[in-house]
Structure 1
């Protein structure tokens, strides 16, 4: 039995006569490698296909007036993402006037699926209301290669339902994953200058140690040097 696993792009979806839909995929020949022979052997044969997007799409609620998110997040020193405290009200609070209810809009966003999956795999995703308590573990099984069919059987639901559940969970934690990923990149960027400074300090120290000090010369050599100077 042939098996091919690859990353590619969906280029076309064509509806043809007799209730047939033609799907056109584009894959890099270099990435496909020797698997192209396995793929060729599947021509005109029945195959089982699972296609999963490499991006997670989600919506962020924003204040239509300020165009800023309604909910903001912050990351602590351990990398745990929390909902940030709301910003102090401005003039309304100072005058004791009732705050005007903001008009809320939803802004479509997207993030790489591997970022969200890494966030989940590292155990950073908190429980989400409306999902099973072990939802993160369920998604981990999928990330590690478990099939939707087996997960659906274990949870006693249809394959379509488990696909939707996992996709919805990824979308729910995506804003937190984005904030966490930005924090991780900041940690790396801050570490690089510190490492360079430490290396520069070591190089400078090594240079100083390699220069002979006239006061470290033996007494006889120091006397000869002083006599020569005189």
Structure 2
């Protein structure tokens, strides 16, 4: 039995007679590599297909007037994401006016699924209201390769329900994952100059050590004797 998995793009979907839907996928040849023969063997054969988007789509609530998010996040030194304190409107702060309830709009956002999945795998994703208490662990098991069918059987729900549940959880934690990922990149960027500086200092120290003239007490005894005879 042939098996192959790959990353590609869904190009089109055609509804045909007799209840048939034709799906066209576009896959870079280098993505298939030597596995292209396995794929060729599946032509006109019945196959089981699972397609999962590499993008997580979610909505962010924004203030329609300022176009800024209603909820902001901050990350502590341990990488834990917290909800930041709300920022008062500058005009209200200056005039001492009561805060008006802002008009809220939904702004569609996207993030790479691998970022959200990494956030979940590293145990940084918190529990979310409306999901099972162990939702983060359920999602982690799926990300690490456990089948939807096995999870659905264990949780006594349909495969379709567990798929929707995990996808909804990804969308729920996506804003936190984005803040966490930005923090990780900032940490990496800050450490690069320090690592470079330490490397350069180590090279300079090594070079200085090589160029130093040895003390006579550090010379082998034969060399010390030759120097004494020469002096005599």
Q: Who is 1:99 aligned against?
A: 99
Q: What is the CA-CA distance between 1:212 and the residue it aligns to?
A: 4.3
Q: Who is 1:50 aligned against?
A: 50
Q: Where do 5+ consecutive residues of structure 1 fail to align?
A: 219-230
- Residues 15-164 of structure 1: matches in 2 within 5 Å? 15-164=15-164
Is structure 2 residue 204 aligned with structure 1 residue 204?
Answer: yes
Q: What is the CA-CA distance between 1:217 and the residue it aligns to?
A: 7.8
Q: CA–CA distance in 2 between the matches of 1:89 and 1:31?
A: 50
Range 95-104 or range 171-180, more displaced? 95-104
1:140-161 CA-to-partner distances (Å, cap 9, x unmatched) read 1111112212211211111211
Q: TM-score, normalised by structure 2?
A: 0.87
Q: What is the CA-CA distance between 1:91 and the residue it aligns to?
A: 3.5
Q: TM-score, normalised by structure 1?
A: 0.88
Q: CA–CA distance in 2 between the matches of 1:8 and 1:175?
A: 26
Q: CA–CA distance in 2 between the matches of 1:148 and 1:67?
A: 39
1:196-227 CA-to-partner distances (Å, cap 9, x unmatched) read 1111222233333344479x689xxxxxxxxx
Q: Who is 1:4 aligned against?
A: 4
Q: Who is 1:225 aligned against?
A: none
- Residues 191-230 of structure 1: matches in 2 within 5 Å? 191-212=191-212
Q: Who is 2:183 aligned against?
A: 183
Q: CA–CA distance in 1 between the matches of 2:185 and 2:155?
A: 36
Q: CA–CA distance in 2 between the matches of 1:34 and 1:213?
A: 60
Q: How well do the aligned residues superpose, as a CA RMSD in angstroms?
A: 1.8
1:88-118 CA-to-partner distances (Å, cap 9, x unmatched) read 4434245442212111111111111011001
Helix, strand or coil at the partner of 2:180: helix
Q: Where do 5+ consecutive residues of structure 2 fail to align?
A: 218-232
Q: What is the CA-CA distance between 1:185 and the residue it aligns to?
A: 1.0
